[in-house]
Structure 1
Amino acid sequence: MTIDELRWFLTLAETEHVTEAAARLRIAQPTLSRALLRLEQRLGTRLFDRDRHRLRLNDHGRIFRRHAQRALDELDAAQDRIAAMLAPPREALGLAFVHSLGGWLVPRLLGAYAQDSPGARFTLHQGSAATVLELLRDGTVEAALTSPRPSDPQVGWLPLRDERLGLAVPAEHRLADRALVRLDELADERLIIMRPSLGLRQITCELFHRAGMTPDVVSECAEVSTIHGLVASGLGVAVVPAGDGGPPPAGVRLVPIADHDAYRTIGLVWHRGRPGSTASRRFREFAARYARDTEPV
C-alpha cells in the first residue's frame, strides 16, 4: 500500500463517509472506494461496517487506524529530521532555565532534541525563576524552563512533568532512615530555604502553610548544591527537588515527603505577545511530545 492510501484511509476513518472524504481529499469517489477495497482485501478483513450510505469503523478498523497513524507520524518525523540535516544552520534558540534543572532535565531534553533535530543550536541562560521570566519578557530568550507556573497572563505555559520533593537531612539525622516524613513532624527542625526570588522558595512556603507550619528558617540560599552542603554540615534540613532520582551528595539523605502535594510542576514558558521563531515553535512542539512520551521521575 502507498503512503497516499494510508492517508486516504485515515481521512475516511475520520469522516466515515466516502463522498465527504473524497471531497476533502480532492479525488474521485470511485478511486477512494477502490483503494479501500484493495486495502481490505490485502488485510483479509473489512475495516468498516456498511450502514446504507455511511460507513462505521469497526474493531479491525480502529486497530489499523492506530497503527496507520503511528506509521505516518514516524514517516513525517523522518522527513523533518532529513530536512533539518539538509537545511543551512538555523539561528540559535535562546533558552533560559532555573538553576535546579541544569543538572538533569535540561541535558536530557536538549539531548533528545538534538537526536530529533541534529542542526539545532541553543544559547543557554540560567538563573532564578524571576530572572528567567525577565529574560523572557525582555526578549533575550524565546523560551524558558521554570517552576512554579508564572502568574503573568502574557506568559504561555506547557506543563512537562511533576517532580516530587524530598526532605534533605544530615546522614546521622533522626529522620535519615525513615521511609516517609510528614511536614508537620518538622516543628523542632531548623530549615534551610531558598531566597525569596526563587521559585522553590514560593513552593516550599506554600507547602508549610498548607501543613499549618511556621518553619524555623536559619539560612537562605540561592543554589540547591549550597543547600546540600549546609545540610551535610548539620546546619539544618531542607525541602529540595528529587531531580532524576539519583543518590544525594555525600553526607545527605533524601527522605520522601508523605504530604500528597509535595511536588512541583515544571513547565516550558514563552511570551504570548510575540509570534516566535520557527525554531521556538518547533522546540515547543518537541517538548510537548517529550513530556507525553517519557515517564516522570
Structure 2
Amino acid sequence: MINVSAVDLQGFIAVAESGHLTGAAAGAGVSQPTFTRRIRRVENAVGADLFDRVGRQMVINARGRAYLPHARAVLAELEVGRTKVARLMDPERGTVRLDFMHSLGTWLVPDLLRDYLALHPGVDFRLHQGAARVLVDRVLADAADIALVGPRPPEAGGALGWHQLELQRLALAVPEGHRLAREGPVDLREAAGEPFVGMLPGYGTRMLLDRIAGELGFSPELVFESMELTTVAGLVSAGLGVALLPLDDPYLAPVGIVLRPLEPPRHRELGLVWRAGAGEAPPVDQFRRFVLTR
C-alpha cells in the first residue's frame, strides 16, 4: 500500500478546488515539480487518475470527485485528533479522569473540585465512582488518571504512587440501647457474634472489616451489604446489626447509633493513587500537585 501524507491530501484538495497546479503550488510555497509528485502519490494510492489534464488546467474528473469528500474527511479527523492532543497538553484546558469512592462524593471530592476549578475553570473532569478495589484496577489499566481511595492499596510504593490525605479512626457502630452501646473504646471481638451490616466486597470499609476481623480470629456474619456508608449507618440505627464505620466523617451524621472507637486503634486511610512512572499529561500532573500540596 502506498503511503499518502496529510500534505499530499492537502495538495490534492487545493488542485481540486482551484484547477491550477501552478497556482496551488505557489499558494503552498513549494515548487511545481514537488506539488506534482504529491498529486501523483495520491493518484497512485487510489490506483486511478483523479484529474483530466486540459492545457495548463487540471480538471477534477468523476473519480476525483468521488475521492474528494473522503480526503477532506481524513484531514478533518486528523485535525480533531490534533486538537484533542493539544487539549491534553494544555494544563488549563485538558482533561483529568478522576475516580473516587462513593463515600467521598459528599465532601472530599466536591471540596477539591470546587477549589481547583475556581483556579483553573477550563479543565475538563471525567468522573467515575466505584468500589476501592475496582478504582485501583482502573488506574493500573489506564482507564483513570487518578483515584481517591482507601485503604492504601498493596500496589502503593510499586506500580502505584500513593499520597495519604486523611486518617480516620475506625469505630464499632451499634444501635442505641444495644448491649454494647456504652462510652469508650471497644475490642471488635466483643461483637464477633453480632450480625453485621457492611459494604459490598471490594469496597474500602469492607476490606478493612474483613482484614481486622480476620486478624482477630473471626468472620463477621453479614446480614446486608451496601454501596453506601450512609445506608449502613441507617440500617444500624434501625437495629438490623452492627457495623464498622469511620469516626469524624463530616457527612456521615450518625443518628440513633453509638460509635465506639476500636481498641487497639484502627484507622481508615484515604489517599490519592496514580500510576508510578506514568508519563502524565500536564493537566493531570497539575491537578495531582494541587491535591498533594493542600
Instruction: State TM-score, norm by structure 1.
Output: 0.61
Q: Deviations over 1:146-165 (max 9, x none)?
A: 11222233222122221221
Code of the aligned partner of 1:179: G
Aligned counterparts, 1:93-172, within 5 A: 93-152=96-155, 153-172=158-177
- Identity %, equivalent residues: 39
168-177 or 269-278, which moves further after superposition? 168-177
Given that 1:104 and 1:243 are in contact with CA atoms closer than 8 Å, whether structure 2 keeps it comes out as no
Number of paired residues?
203
**Aligned-pair distance for 1:283?**
1.5
Q: Deviations over 1:112-138 (max 9, x none)?
A: 333444444422111001221233233
Q: Deviations over 1:140-186 (max 9, x none)?
A: 32111111222233222122221221222213323334232221221
Given that 2:91 and 2:283 are in contact with CA atoms closer than 8 Å, whether structure 1 keeps it comes out as no
Given that 1:248 and 1:254 are in contact with CA atoms closer than 8 Å, whether structure 2 keeps it comes out as no
Code of the aligned partner of 1:215: P
2:267 to 263, 268, 284: 263
| Matching residue of 2:10 | none
Larger Rg: 2
1:180 to 182, 185, 190: 185
In the alignment, the residues of structure 2 paired with residue 92 and residue 184 of structure 1 have an alpha-carbon distance, to the nearest angstrom, of 47
Say which SS state the counterpart of residue 226 (structure 1) adopts: helix
**Alpha carbons of 1:242 and 1:141: their partners in 2 closer, same or farther (altered >3 Å)?**
same
| Matching residue of 2:232 | 227
In the alignment, the residues of structure 2 paired with residue 267 and residue 88 of structure 1 have an alpha-carbon distance, to the nearest angstrom, of 23
2:194 to 175, 189, 198: 189
| Matching residue of 2:289 | 285
Given that 2:148 and 2:273 are in contact with CA atoms closer than 8 Å, whether structure 1 keeps it comes out as yes
In the alignment, the residues of structure 2 paired with residue 264 and residue 166 of structure 1 have an alpha-carbon distance, to the nearest angstrom, of 10
Given that 2:91 and 2:282 are in contact with CA atoms closer than 8 Å, whether structure 1 keeps it comes out as no
Q: Deviations over 1:215-251 (max 9, x none)?
A: 3333322221221222122110000123534563433
In the alignment, the residues of structure 1 paired with residue 190 and residue 153 of structure 2 have an alpha-carbon distance, to the nearest angstrom, of 30
In the alignment, the residues of structure 2 paired with residue 231 and residue 274 of structure 1 have an alpha-carbon distance, to the nearest angstrom, of 42
Unaligned segments of structure 2, at least 5 residues: 1-89
2:247 to 234, 242, 246: 242
Given that 1:169 and 1:176 are in contact with CA atoms closer than 8 Å, whether structure 2 keeps it comes out as yes
In the alignment, the residues of structure 2 paired with residue 198 and residue 211 of structure 1 have an alpha-carbon distance, to the nearest angstrom, of 20
In the alignment, the residues of structure 1 paired with residue 93 and residue 133 of structure 2 have an alpha-carbon distance, to the nearest angstrom, of 29
In the alignment, the residues of structure 2 paired with residue 129 and residue 246 of structure 1 have an alpha-carbon distance, to the nearest angstrom, of 19
RMSD: 2.4
Say which SS state the counterpart of residue 203 (structure 1) adopts: helix
2:205 to 196, 200, 206: 200
Say which SS state the counterpart of residue 293 (structure 2) adopts: helix
Code of the aligned partner of 1:265: E
| Matching residue of 1:90 | 93
| Matching residue of 1:43 | none
**Alpha carbons of 1:115 and 1:280: their partners in 2 closer, same or farther (altered >3 Å)?**
same
Q: Deviations over 1:56-93 (max 9, x none)?
A: xxxxxxxxxxxxxxxxxxxxxxxxxxxxxxx9951231
In the alignment, the residues of structure 2 paired with residue 126 and residue 247 of structure 1 have an alpha-carbon distance, to the nearest angstrom, of 18
Unaligned segments of structure 1, at least 5 residues: 1-86, 291-297
**Aligned-pair distance for 1:268?**
0.6
108-117 or 196-205, which moves further after superposition? 108-117
In the alignment, the residues of structure 2 paired with residue 279 and residue 247 of structure 1 have an alpha-carbon distance, to the nearest angstrom, of 32
**Aligned-pair distance for 1:289?**
1.1
